[in-house]
Chains A and B, each alone.
Chain A
Amino acid sequence: MPSFLKLIWINAGIYFSIIIWTLTGVIISPLCYLFFTRILKWEKPATLRKMIWYYGWTCSKLMSVFMDIKWPVQQQLPSPCIIVANHGSFFDPYLVSFQPQNNICMAVRNWPFKIPFYGFYMKLAGYINVETDNLDVIIEQAATAANDGATLMFFPEGTRSKDGQLSRFHSGPFHIAMQTGLPVVPLCITGTYNMLPRGHMVIRPAKIRGEILDPIYPEQFKNMHNAHIELRRAVKKTMVASIREMNQKM
């Protein structure tokens, strides 16, 4: 297929299918939510988290029709745990649904809570607002979600990468790991920056690959000075090496 036609095919396909699926979700999700929580008596926040995961997973599946997306054979993750993923593109929050856990509690900034429909569901799902000025509240929310069987998901860069490289990590997830003892599971995604860099609207063809790395346990850092910084460094180091290796394989 000529590259211009391919570009139209990819953009029309991905945007159109995600918009249609989102509108479908807007219509059917309240009914599903009521059915699961009222009839089947499922736990409310967990139900919503699984519904959001399913929405993201379906978006990712739809994307994979138009884009070369390969995810590794699923490995079992420790449960609960803290997943930290790199963030190159708008589509990363959808693509992380390919990892094996479906009860995912995302940690997000203030602004997504203001998105109509999305924000309302995020609040109901108990998503963590990391832009509050109080770590105690954040840790309390994280512990509540973890006790509820949820896996915590962070993008420690806090925003999409400006240049495709791994940016500085914020400390939030590493403070939580040190205080709760939850293991940190690095999740590396490559290709999404090439697919749709920050500030762009046109999706370009790219090879999207995901890799789940071995868990890193906070116990080994607990006697160190500034333990959260040491844990943060260790996680980032392993992610940098893995992303480099993944890019070389492309």
Chain B
Amino acid sequence: MTDEEIIKRINSALAEEFELELDEMVPEAVFKDDLDLDSLDAVDMVIVLEQEFGIKIKKDEAFKAIRTLGDLHTFILSKKSEAA
């Protein structure tokens, strides 16, 4: 799977889970301010991404530092390359 395909899957999974429009899903979008996602959504986000990519995110300190969609893309891509 290419990086572009992974990013596409992240965006579509989050759009479905959080009822967002795909055109809102730009890398610079800040979760709290632009996508209106809060700490309660972080719980749902972990589940969605773990199911989508078969990775473990729980208790990952790097995940807690994520602020934008671009940060999340980078985080998942690095997780995927670690698993490869």
Residues of A with C-beta under 8 A to B41: 170
Q: How far is the CB of B21 from chain A (nearest CB, A)?
A: 13
* Cross-chain contact A131 with B40 (CB below 8 angstroms): yes
Count, chain B residues at interface, CB 8 A = 16
- Contact at A133–B42, with CB atoms within 8 Å? yes
Residues of A within 8 A of B44 (CB): 170-172
- Do A229 and B40 have beta carbons less than 8 Å apart? no
Interface centre among A130, A138, A168 (most CB of B within 10 A): A168
How far is B51's CA from A226's CA once the two chains are assembled, in angstroms? 10
With contacts A109-B40, A131-B39 known, is A171 near B19, CB below 8 A?
no
Total contacts A to B, CB within 8 angstroms? 39
Residue B84 is within 8 A (CB to CB) of chain A in the complex: no
Contact indicator A135/B43 (Cβ below 8 Å): yes
Q: Is the interface of A mostly helix, strand, loop or mixed?
A: loop
Q: Is A160 interfacial (CB 8 A cutoff)?
A: no
Task: List B contacts of A3 (CB < 8 A).
Answer: none
Contact among B19, B43, B46, B64 for A131, CB-based, below 8 A = B43
Question: Which B residues touch A171, using CB under 8 A?
Answer: 17, 44, 47
Please list the residues of chain B having a beta carbon within 8 angstroms of any beta carbon in chain A: 16-19, 38-44, 46-47, 58-59, 64
- Residues of chain A at the chain B interface (Cβ within 8 Å): 109-110, 130-135, 138, 158, 168, 170-172, 175, 226, 229
The 4 closest A-B pairs by CB, nearest first: A171-B44, A158-B40, A168-B19, A135-B47
